[in-house]
Structures are given as structure tokens and as C-alpha cells.
């Protein structure tokens, strides 16, 4: 197994790859403001990319998002508005705000820059020159899976692209399996970064083209994955970043003898929660 | 502060940069075996570099080295001989072994490949295009400090190169300050990777040319550094890898307003010791 590490950067997730494109494009287009909903990582990355670019960032997030993510969004200078609900409510509120203020709404996974940013992960994998058979990608809204998948299907079509989602937040995986948008009433998982309920139809269309499979994993496997990444790789990772390892743990036969790459996509985690997970049996 | 991360690789330290040169050179020269003394990281890296190259590796190490380092050396296929003493005794024994068997003795810091390997860290820093004022380098035998220092003095002479050693293992720092080899009777520090007592004269000569300063840090600062790297950067680091952060903590005024790069050089640590350090007040 190889790790594609996306946490060793100032925002500790892969999201900066897309927000750099977004911020650059906005400034070139003479825009001064942008609004996004965020589970926590996109908001940080957008705030980071806006620094030094004279771009005002408003992030709408669930008040249940990890404190460390909310603190970092504020610390990076963005305006943060919290909603008393989950990420889907934050998406609604962000859309209202952007419409009311007449500024760009950045929609993760729907807006191409977010997928193009993630696609550069795929490019780096291909350009590494290392042969691999499978890539495991965390599945939330779908930006990472469609971005990486698009590149691999083009440049390394023999590589199996497998999306991984928690059993407690399976909306996009169910949608992929049924080839139509399936929503869920709730999303219950420690993997807050991928806890969506309302898949976007256009993103599903792309995912149906580029993903070879979508699997669900249990919370316990995610926790074991967190522990393995800490003890064997020395990495503090957020639950979404351990989804690929969880999938390997649950599907050992499927991956035996194959070179599997797992994208460790984020490392923003409340340390008190983290220690509780790591310490649990 | 910026981190130059040297732990996100299969041997979790920077030592592979040099051992790739060594192994490649040996094989090109028709050699089939090599012996080295190692505090734990060089041996792992040499064993890693020898894989697939038909090169037999013997590593001599102190039996007091971290268990994880010794286990990894064995797991990577090297022959491991333990001595009942510290790293300096391992160095003696390795020299005897190599002489007896008529094979190459790889001497860390003395043999140019080990410094050239570390020098590529300096090249990457310069080529990153990011301007920085200071680089903090862990000081043990001196390979990393002389390698990085040489490159920076050549290509970025305005950057201050500061070596950092624990107060409990100050031989090379004292030598640098007195401009002559100073040995110590003991080396007492949790930073096992830099716990040498007998500096090499030729390495000191180079260090006197390229290092702007050499500072000593307390064990407590190293532990605080470990904790900061875990909580703020999500990185499990061995004590030697936290020396730069420790130096910043002890010299805040000196580094205020300057862009400091610290090389996080290794992450091989026994997790039980690690949790004990992190948990201590």
C-alpha cells in the first residue's frame, strides 16, 4: 500500500488545490468576494487562498463541525456564519447569502475548479512513475473522486478507482449503485468531512463514468484505520482521511497482492475526539 | 515557521537520500556487501536501499536503540548485530566487522554520500522558491548540517544555518564552539538519533565552514516540540526531529519576525515512549 499524503500542507487537506484555482480566477475576473458552504476543510482552504489576494471570504458551516476547523477558518480571516443544522443546511444558507449579496457561490464538487484541483492528485500519481493497481478515494460530495477518476481513466485506464464512504453516510454510494440520486434523512459518522445527504445530480453523472466501484465501511474500521495511520505512518488524520485504509481492512482478499494507493485527504481533527477514538478498543 | 518534512517516506527519516547514493555506487562498483553502524535510521535506510539491488547489509547498533528502529532494520532484510553499549561502541564494532570481512564500511557524516544525500534537502529548499531567513538543523554526526549548510552557503548565503543539539549530548556543539574535537563521557537525551560522543574531525572542519551557530536545547523543550508537532501539525516525530522546534521555543526573540525553516528529520519512535513523553507535563 502507498499513501498519497494530502495533509502535509498549511491547510492540512487537499482542498487548497481547488481553492487556488478559484481564488485566482475570481481575482482575474475582478471579483472581490466569494461565499461557500463548508464541512470545514473547503472553508479553510478558500480562506487561505484568499489571503494576499484582496478577496473577502464568507464561509457557512454547521455549528457541529469540528471546533478546530471552525477556529482555523476564523483564524485565516474569513467571515464564518454557523447554522444550527448539518452541512446540507449550510449549503442552503450559503446559496441564499450569495444570491442576496450578488457574489460568487463556490459549490464544492459541482464547480469544476474543485474537481480540477483534486484532479492534480491524479496527475501527480500518474507522473510519479510508480505503477499501481487501485486507488481508494474518500467519497463525500464527489469532487475528489471525479477529479482523480477523470485523470486516471484518461491516463491510466487500468487502475481501478474505488470510492469509499462510511455506512452511516451512504447517500452518494447508494446513488452510484442505483444510478440515480438517492438522498438520506441523516448522516451519522465520525467522518464529518464526507457526511452529506443530498448528492448533486451532475456530480453523480460524472462519478458514474469514472468510478469502478463504491464501497461502504464501518465506523470501527475507520477508527482502526486512524490508529494504523498514527502508529505505522506517524500521521494524525481525520476520519475521512482513513476511509481508504478502512476499506482495505474490510476487503483484504480483494486487495491482496495488488499495489493499492490510498489518498489520505485531510488531517483536521479535534484532538480530544481523536484521543477518544484512538483510545477506544 | 515552515517545516521541511523528512518523515513522509518509507523509512521515515531523511537518511534514504544518502543511502540511495551509497547503494547505487556500491552496485555499480561490483560490490555485494556493506556494513554500517547506526543509531537506527541509517540502518533502516541502507537496508531499504539495498532491496532489489543484491546487496547484503550488516547493521551494528546499540541494544538500547528504540525497538521500532531495530525491528524495522531486521524487517527490511538486513543482518543486525547488537552491541552492549552505546552508538560509539557500535561504530567501533562496525569498523572491525568491515575490516574483517573486507567490505565497505559506511561511515555516517564522514562518507561524502551521506552528506550529499542530506545536501539535496538544501537544494529542495532553495528550489522551492520560498524565501527564508534561518534553517534549523538537528546536529548529530554532522551529515545533515554539513550537507544542507554547504548548499545554502553556496546558493543562499544570506540564510543563517543553525545547528541544534540536546544539552545532554553536546559533543559536536562544544567542538564547534571550541574549534577542536571535544568528546564527552556520556550522552543522555531522549533524542537517540543524535546521541553521539565522539565527533569526527573532518566533519567538524566542514561544519566550522558552513554553520553559523550551534545551540543546545533542554529535554523539556524537545518534549514540548514533540507535542506541538503532534497537535499543530499532525506529525508523530522522533525527538531528534523536534530539535528545531525546541530551539525556537528557547530563543523566541532571536527568531521573531523571521521566516524559519526547521527540518523535521525523523519519525521513528517507540509509541510507548512517545505517549509517555507526550503525556508528561
Which tens digit of pLDDT belongs to each residue from B206-255? 999 999 999 999 999 999 999 999 999 999 999 999 999 999 999 999 99
Q: What is the pLDDT of residues A160-202, one digit of tens each?
A: 999 999 999 999 999 999 999 999 999 999 999 999 999 999 9
pLDDT at A280 over 90: no
What is the chain B residue with the closest CA to A229?
B236
Q: What percent of chain A has pLDDT over 90?
A: 99
Distance CA A97, CA A106 (A): 12
CATH architecture of A16-106: 3-Layer(aba) Sandwich (3.40)
For residue range A264-273, list pLDDT tens digits in order.
999 999 999 9
pLDDT, tens only, A44-55: 999 999 998 999
Mutate to test the interface with A, among B6, B234, B264 (most CBs of A within 10 A): B234
Neighbours of A167 (CB within 10 A): 15
Distance (Å) from the C-alpha of residue A13 to the closest C-alpha of chain B?
11
Tell which residue, A245, A219, A217, has the closest CA to residue A230: A245
User: What is residue A226's predicted lDDT score, i.e. its pLDDT?
Assistant: 98
What pLDDT shows up at residue B266?
98
| Residue ranges of A 10-29 with Cβ closer than 8 A to chain B | 12
Domain residue extents for chain A: 2-10+112-279, 16-106
CB pairs under 8 A between A and B: 29
**Per-residue pLDDT tens for B11-30?**
999 999 999 999 999 999 99
The pLDDT, as a whole number, for residue A250 is: 98
| CATH for the stretch A2-10+112-279 | 3.40.50.1100
Whole-number pLDDT of residue A21: 97
Q: Which three cell numbers stand for residue B91?
A: 561504530
Residue showing cell 503525556? B279
Query: Beta-carbon neighbour count of residue B201 at 10 Å?
Result: 11
Nearest Cα of chain A lies from the Cα of B14 at a distance, in angstroms, of 15
Cell 548485530 sits at which residue? B81
Residue A281 pLDDT exceeds 80: no
- State whether B235 and A231 contact (CB < 8 Å): no
Chain A residue with CA closest to B272: the answer is A231
Residue B198 has pLDDT above 60, yes or no: yes
Residue B267: other Cβ atoms inside 10 A: 25
Note the pLDDT of residue B245: 98
Residue A234 to residue B231, Cβ atoms within 8 A: no
Q: At what angle do helices B171-178 and B201-210 cross, to 10 degrees?
A: 60
Q: Which residues of chain B does A3 touch, with a Cβ-Cβ cutoff of 8 Å?
A: 8
**Mean pLDDT, range B5-15, rounded to an integer:** 97
Share of chain A above pLDDT 70, in %: 99
C-alpha cell at A55: 478577496
Q: How does pLDDT run across A212-228, given as a tens digit for each residue?
A: 999 999 999 999 999 99
ipTM of the complex as predicted: 0.92
The predicted structure's pLDDT at residue B166: 98
Task: Give A219-259 pLDDT, tens digit per residue.
Answer: 999 999 999 999 999 999 999 999 999 999 999 999 999 99
| B278: closest CA of chain A, how far (Å) | 12
Residues of A in contact with B236 (CB under 8 A): 230, 234-236
Nearest-by-Cβ selection for B236 from A234, A269, A271: A234
CA distances from A74 to A43, A102, A271 (A): 9, 22, 18
Average model confidence (pLDDT) for chain A?
A: 97
Would you place residue B146 in the very low, low, confident or very high pLDDT band (cuts 50, 70, 90)? very high
- Which of A147, A140, A262 shows the shortest CA–CA distance to A206? A147
Output B38 or A281, whichever has higher pLDDT: B38
Question: Does B271 reach chain A within 8 Å, measured CB to CB?
Answer: yes
pLDDT band at B48; cut points 50, 70, 90: very high
Three-state SS for B264?
strand
Residue A230: its chain B contacts at CB < 8 A?
236
Residue B107 has a pLDDT of: 97
| H or E element in which residue A61 lies | strand A56-62
User: Which of the four pLDDT bands, split at 50, 70 and 90, describes residue A149?
Assistant: very high
Residue A13 CA, chain-centre distance (Å), reads 8
Closest C-alpha to B43, from B83, B1, B2: B83
Distance of alpha carbon A185 from the chain centroid:
21
Min Cα distance B46 → chain A (Å) is 19
> pLDDT value at position B14?
98
The answer to whether B100 faces chain A, any CB pair under 8 Å, is: no
Q: Does A275 touch chain B (CB under 8 A)?
A: no
| Nearest chain B CA: its distance from A123 CA (Å) | 19
Any idea what DSSP says for residue B162? E
pLDDT confidence of residue A93: 98
- Residue A245: what pLDDT? 98
CB within 8 Å: B12 and A234 = yes
Contact present, B4 and B263 (Cβ < 8 Å): yes
How many helices and strands (H and E) does chain A possess?
12, 9
Letter string b/e over residues B204-213, b meaning 16 or more CB atoms within 10 A of that residue's CB: bebbeebbeb
pLDDT at position A8 is 96
pLDDT by residue (tens digit) across B78-129? 999 999 999 999 999 999 999 999 999 999 999 999 999 999 999 999 999 9
pLDDT, position A249: 98
Nearest Cα of chain A lies from the Cα of B71 at a distance, in angstroms, of: 13
A227 contacts on B by Cβ (under 8 Å): none
What is the number of other CB atoms lying within 10 angstroms of the CB of residue B6?
Answer: 23
Distance from C-alpha of B274 to C-alpha of A209, rounded to nearest angstrom: 46
**Residue A35: what pLDDT?**
98
Could you check whether A2-10+112-279 and A16-106 share the same CATH topology?
Answer: yes
User: What pLDDT does A79 receive?
Assistant: 98
- Report the first-to-last Cα separation within chain B, whole angstroms: 24
Residue B281 has pLDDT above 70, yes or no: no
* Contact present, B58 and B83 (Cβ < 8 Å): no
The reply to whether residue A234 touches residue B235, judged by beta carbons under 8 angstroms, is: yes
Does position B280 have pLDDT exceeding 80, yes or no? no
Amino acid at each position: 500500500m502507498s499513501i498519497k499524503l494530502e495533509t502535509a500542507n498549511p491547510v492540512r487537506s487537499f482542498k487548497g488545490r481547488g481553492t487556488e484555482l478559484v481564488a485566482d480566477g475570481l481575482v482575474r475576473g475582478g471579483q472581490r468576494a466569494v461565499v461557500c458552504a463548508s464541512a470545514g476543510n473547503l472553508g479553510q482552504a478558500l480562506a487561505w487562498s484568499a489571503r494576499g489576494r484582496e478577496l473577502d471570504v464568507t464561509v457557512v458551516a454547521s455549528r457541529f463541525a469540528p471546533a478546530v476547523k471552525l477556529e482555523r477558518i476564523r483564524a485565516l480571516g474569513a467571515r464564518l456564519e454557523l447554522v444550527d443544522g448539518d452541512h446540507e443546511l449550510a449549503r442552503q444558507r450559503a446559496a441564499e447569502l450569495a444570491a442576496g449579496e450578488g457574489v460568487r457561490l463556490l459549490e464544492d464538487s459541482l464547480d469544476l475548479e474543485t474537481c480540477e484541483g483534486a484532479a492534480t492528485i491524479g496527475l501527480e500519481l500518474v507522473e510519479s512513475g510508480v505503477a499501481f493497481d487501485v486507488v481508494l478515494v474518500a467519497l463525500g460530495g464527489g469532487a475528489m473522486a471525479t477529479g482523480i477518476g477523470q485523470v486516471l481513466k484518461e491516463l491510466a485506464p487500468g487502475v481501478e478507482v474505488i470510492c469509499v464512504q462510511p455506512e452511516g453516510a451512504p447517500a452518494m454510494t447508494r446513488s452510484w449503485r442505483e444510478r440515480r440520486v438517492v438522498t438520506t434523512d441523516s448522516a451519522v459518522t465520525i467522518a464529518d468531512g464526507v457526511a452529506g445527504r443530498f448528492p448533486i445530480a451532475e456530480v453523480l453523472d460524472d462519478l458514474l463514468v469514472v468510478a469502478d466501484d463504491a464501497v461502504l465501511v464501518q465506523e470501527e474500521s475507520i477508527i482502526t484505520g486512524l490508529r494504523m495511520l498514527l502508529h505505522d505512518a506517524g500521521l494524525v488524520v481525520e476520519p475521512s482521511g482513513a476511509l481508504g485504509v478502512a476499506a482495505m481492512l474490510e476487503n483484504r482478499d480483494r486487495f491482496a497482492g495488488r499495489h493499492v494507493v490510498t489518498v489520505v485527504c485531510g488531517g483536521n481533527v479535534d484532538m480530544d475526539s481523536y484521543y477518544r477514538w484512538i483510545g477506544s478498543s
